Structure 1
Amino acid sequence: MAAKKNEKRKRTSEKPRNGKENGGHGHYGSEQRPDGKPFVVVDTNVFLIDPSAYLKFPDSHLIIPLIVIEELDSFKRELTAIGKAAREIIRTLDDLRSKGPLTEGVSLDNGADLRVFILEDPDYEIPPGLDHIAKDNYILACALLISERTNLSVRLVTKDADLRIKADVLGLEAI
């Protein structure tokens, strides 16, 4: 089923909407990934439910949009399980910085690499009909841009049904 969605996406978008092949800092360019690892973009709510979720995707390119870190920061002061989870994943990401710049990607023990993704291409347009300010749409735009730039499948992992629906409509695999 994912193959059909990706084929649909490739047919409708042979090149990025902005006509450019490469992005800037924190971007995956148009290069093909010969390692066969899937790209996995993770939504904030996944970490708030399980701060060790970054370990659940072995042998993948794990992408954390920068907005996810902003959202985690907004939860860290809560004296709840959600606040505790936010603090835990923030500490983990801080520890991972010792392996190198997170925007360039760091290797994890499970064969994955983790990268913080910055969507800073001023010419990239969020698909029509989507609110350009909504944080979920920023996460969706990161997944779309990686998919378009690499021509590889991208999985969006979220507990948000609305975001999964939007991803599906736009041709992305969402779990």
Structure 2
Amino acid sequence: MQPLLYNMPTLFAALGIRLKQISRIRQETDDSKPHVVELQQVTAVQVLVKAGQHIRGEPVEDRINSEEVRRLLDEFVPEWEVREERLYRRFETANWRVTLMTANAIGFLSEAAYHHPRLVLNYRSVEVYLTTHDAGGLTKLDFSLARKIEETVGWPRSREEMPGRRPKEWLRS
């Protein structure tokens, strides 16, 4: 796994992503360089890697039919819908800062799954479109990633669920 050259644990902690293990490694150079952080194990990564086969050159999953799409939508990600043959979800946010944090969290989860969704950012919202390009449509990987995105950034669902009832700090539904 390649080391990250920036401090992501702070962002992960702010978003509630739990890091199982973080180890510090020194760069392999003669001069004294700062430490870089390498993520050894991340719960979200493990879930996505286990769920999807389209990871770094492995065989592409088969495209699923429309009946299976409806079943998976109802069962796993009822908040999502199908638009333009892609899974779609719009997350309303409190402000631009939260929009950027949401996009970064989705980007991290997507990169961990070696999946590249279409993200549309506005001042107070993030729109996510998921599809598996190599399969030419939706696969189980899209639903696995959608569920992980929902678990990570899709809460709280109401003002009552917001810690301290301070809506500016959290996503709104």
Question: What is the TM-score with the length of structure 1 in the denominator?
Answer: 0.26
Looking at CA atoms only, which structure, 1 or 2, has the larger radius of gyration? 2
Please identify which structure carries the higher strand content.
2
**Greater RCO structure (CA 8 Å; 6+ sep):** 1
Question: What is the TM-score with the length of structure 2 in the denominator?
Answer: 0.27
